Structure 1
Amino acid sequence: MSASTHFRPAGGFVGDVIPFEQDGTVWLYYLLDTRDPRRPLDREQGMPWAAVTTTDFATFTDRGVVLPSAGPGAEDFDCYTGSVVTDDDGLLHLFYTGHNPRIRTADGDVQVVCHATSAGDPAVWTRHPEWTFGALDGYAPEDWRDPFVFRTAPGEPWQLLLAARRADAPSRRSGLVARLVSDDLVHWRDAAPLWDPRRFIAQECPDVFQWGEHWYLVYSEFSDSFQTRYRIGDSPEGPWRAPEHDTVDGRAFYASKTVELDGERHFIGWIASKEGERDAGAWQWAGTMAVLRATQAPGGALSFGLPRSVVALYDDARDLRPELAPLDDADGAPGHGALDRYAAWLGPEVPAETLLVAEFDIAAGTQACGLLLRAGDDGEEAYALRLEPQRDRIVFDRWPRGTTGGEQWQIRGDVPHAVELERPVPLAPGRHTVEVHLDHDLCVVVVDDRVALSTRLYDRPSGRVGVFATDGEFELVRLEARLRS
């Protein structure tokens, strides 16, 4: 069993996750990224599928590699994202993207749809290279990936969705969710695209599911920003409308797909690592597995929070409010006396793995307030989760943000917070709850069990917790550090 509630394999990283539920156990297949430093053409083995299983999204059993690379000469040298389904006879079908850097067109590497089957063991697969197929006419052969297979009801034809591009369109507007249909999961025929928004380069990792009267299309994009988004439809044909806030998380959480377990829908993706394991490092592809629990509003919009089983693990609560001390002559009562200034209150150091729960009763007109994480003794250097009621958003910030030189005025004051780490959330005056799941260098923030923001904390592995206010006030109703008992 994995000790962390966020799985990462020894010696590797988690890429795109492909969830599949069987008899109450969720198989979380994933692309195993070993970060092999050799050039692709120098490698003898490409990317495999590995897997972990879980029954609660809090504990995981590592199943190792389940679909290895087919070797240097195969179309599936690299085994990329796909899906798993069970047919009416109980046979399991695994669809995945095949890629080989040795097979190219003038415009890039070719991607194909590959197929494997299993008699029932989700860890044992037989390849069927005779069923492999590439892009149909009119589609770019370099982007023909992430096959997602489903059907709208038993007995209906199977549908296969693909992250694809039109061959004759400008690149940024060429991405669409292509669709094929089949009666036997082997022979596929072209059908009208499921969604053609003329907006993105590609809609990666498409996923469709029904929840009550609504249908959902989930996808990840890297055109406007690196994020997982969703759309809502009244039928499996769409039209696919955007909710007011259509993102699942921020920049760090990517390539999420979904699965239902025990009546609840969960989104599983990865929190990206950063180059050099530094806060200022560039985001990398792949990282550590992460899970969010979705809830549904009456109009179909989704909210996101921590899995219930993860929260239940942290059942040893410590009230931190009595341990908060003011900084710089702040008012003695945390949250008060900051009507025309910045004020902060620091508490104790908390373990690297902690669930912090804070409840703020925010006064009208407050510009900002929030939590300091892993702060120094004077509160100057810290990570900050800043609630901004005037903008109805939460942002992740850190100080120092960086400099362009050694002079005082060369502080990166032009960077208001960590790039792409902001999330819209309604912050009307009144009570708001912030959960912060710290898992060593991982941080997952949830506001009001509604909005999630994930990131990495590399540079400061430890430090004190605190609260702050800017030009306003709040009542600190609760501040707890919860540990595993």
Structure 2
Amino acid sequence: MPFTLPDAWTWDMWFADDGTDYHVFYLKASRALHDPNRRHFHVTVGHAVSDDLRTWREVPDALIAADGPAFDDFTTWTGSVVRGQDGVWRMFYTGTSRAEAGTIQRVGLATSTDLYHWEKQPGAIAEADPRWYEKFDSGDWFDEAWRDPWVFEAPGIPGWQMLVTARSKQGAADDRGVIGHATSKDLSTWTLQPPWSEPGAGFGQLEVPQVAEIDGRHVLIFSCLAGELSASRRDSAGGVWAVPIDRPEGPYDIRRAVRLTDESLYAGRLVRDRDGRWYLFAFLHVDPAGEFVGALSDPLPVSWGTDGNLRVADGRFDHIHNGALRVPAGTPNVT
């Protein structure tokens, strides 16, 4: 059964495995708000544990907004967790401030020795660099996108890589979604890099990015709803998207993206169990009537289709797997 809280909506999530329990961290807001559209600015980072990825037990929340003034005194949003060579767990998360009305997004860092007790480190560690990325003062989008950090190690590349939901400073305003990129040697000090994808692929934003290697093949997933597709893609639907990639490090050719799910699910995460099986998790976004749900899905097995694209293996989304994006004339190649 989906993980549903009676008194709170849950949505974007990220996972950690301590060898005994699986931990899921998720965005959480009280149902007393009544309107789920209000949840984004009344949010905490919830926490639950499981020994089988199916039955979850809620434990105390992991993060809340900081006391002001601070870059994260308004919201703490989506992130990821890794464990360094020093044994310390690090949570990279998105923060926004009240002084900026939540319009500017930055990445923060919290640390833990046990995944239950988290200590925020002072200040933001990364924000959009105007050399490559759109800033809020451009007036071309509703916020300054620099969120959903996914941190990982790529074989053959020294240090750590961070993928970020970001927007290019170039291109049509509704078609600037890119995968932002930063690097670090120590998980504390980060250097901003050019994006690992190009604008013009049909997306205004590419939310909650993640890379994974499944059965020896690499994939990038992200999420985008129909309303954030570019005008040239507006006749398509949204959901969780997948892009076959040659290697975990970019650049990524986002033009190859196909939908992995429809909009009933959103903010997908790929999780491997201890037997090596891969599953998709996402939050239950809308029901058949279009009403917001706000719960954590059951694990959905994934596999590679004969067309070379990742699929949900139980067949429930087979009706959308021919929905590859059309590449408009003049779209630049990613090199």
**Equivalent pair of 2:125/2:189 in contact (CA under 8 Å):** no
Deviation at 1:7, TM superposition (A): 0.5
Alpha-carbon separation, structure 2, partners of 1:206 and 1:180: 14
Count of residue correspondences = 298
Q: What residue in structure 2 maps to residue 177 of structure 1?
A: 179
How far residue 168 of structure 1 moved from its aligned partner, in angstroms, is 4.2
Matched AA of 1:268 = F
Shift in CA distance, 173/259, structure 1 to aligned 2, threshold 3 Å = same
In 2, the alpha carbon distance for the partners of 1:118 and 1:423 equals 41
Shift of 1:8: 1.4
Alignment check: 8 A CA contact 2:259 2:321 kept? no
**Counterpart for residue 27 of structure 1:** 23
1:289 is aligned, of 293, 296, 299, to: 296
1:372-410: per-residue Cα shift (whole Å, max 9, x none)?
xxxxxxxxxxxxx9xxxxxxx97xxxxxxxxxxxxxxxx
The within-5 A match list for 1:461-476 is: none
Match of 2:320 in 1: 423
AA in 2 matched with 1:215:
H
1:232 aligns with 2:244: yes
Which digits, 9 at most, give the CA deviation of each residue in 1:453-483, with x for residues without a partner? xxxxxxxxxxxxxxxxxxxxxxxxxxxxxxx
What is the TM-score with the length of structure 1 in the denominator? 0.56
Q: In 1, distance between residues paired with 2:147 and 2:257?
A: 27
Match among 295, 299, 304 for residue 312 of structure 2: 304
The match for 2:95 is 98
C-alpha distance in structure 1 between counterparts of 2:279 and 2:84, whole Å: 23
Name the aligned partner's letter for residue 213 of structure 2: Q
Q: Is the 8 A contact 1:245 1:424 kept in 2?
A: no
Task: Look up the SS of the partner of 1:184 in the other structure.
Answer: coil
Amino acid at match of 2:285: A
CA separation in 1, counterparts of 2:162 and 2:79?
A: 10
Following superposition, the deviation at residue 293 of structure 1 comes to 1.3
Measured against aligned partners, the alpha-carbon deviations of 1:415-444 in whole angstroms (never above 9, x if no partner) come to xxxxxxx5348xxxxxxxxxxxxxxxxxxx
Q: Counterparts of 1:214 and 1:87 in 2: how far apart (Å)?
A: 25
Q: Distance in 2 between matches of 1:182 and 1:58?
A: 34
| Map of 2:270 onto structure 1 | 258
- The CA deviation string for residues 341-378 of structure 1, in whole angstroms up to 9 with x for no partner, is xxxxxxxxxxxxxxxxxxxxxxxxxxxxxxxxxxxxxx
| Structure 2 equivalent of residue 140 of structure 1 | 134
Equivalent-residue separation in structure 1 for 2:28 and 2:221 (angstroms) = 22
User: Residue 217 in 1 paired to residue 225 in 2?
Assistant: no
Q: CA deviation at 1:299?
A: 6.9
SS at match of 1:172: helix
In structure 2, the CA distance between the partners of 1:165 and 1:255, relative to structure 1 (3 Å rule), is same
Q: Distance in 2 between matches of 1:9 and 1:237?
A: 37
The aligned amino acid for 1:190 is L
Structure 1 residue 63 and structure 2 residue 71: aligned? no
Query: Contact between 1:232 and 1:242, CA under 8 Å: does it hold in 2?
Result: no
- Cα gap change, 1:251 to 1:155, in 2 (>3 Å): closer
Deviation at 1:78, TM superposition (A): 0.8
**Deviations for 1:208-247, whole angstroms, at most 9, x for unmatched residues?**
1122432111100122333100111122235645799822
Decide which of 150, 155, 161 is 1:159's aligned counterpart.
161
Give the TM-score taking structure 2 as reference length.
Answer: 0.79
| Amino acid corresponding to residue 115 of structure 1 in structure 2 | L
Q: Deviations over 1:24-70 (max 9, x none)?
A: 4221110002255499xx99x84111011122222111113111222
Tell me if 1:124 matches 2:132: no
Higher strand fraction: Structure 1 or Structure 2?
Answer: 1
Q: Which sections of structure 2, spanning at least 5 residues, go unmatched? A: 136-143, 230-236, 323-335
Specify whether residues 35 and 137 from structure 1 end up closer, same or farther in structure 2 by C-alpha distance, changes over 3 A only.
farther
The alignment status of 1:75 with 2:77, answered yes or no, reads no
**Which residue among 86, 108, 128 is the counterpart of 1:89?**
86
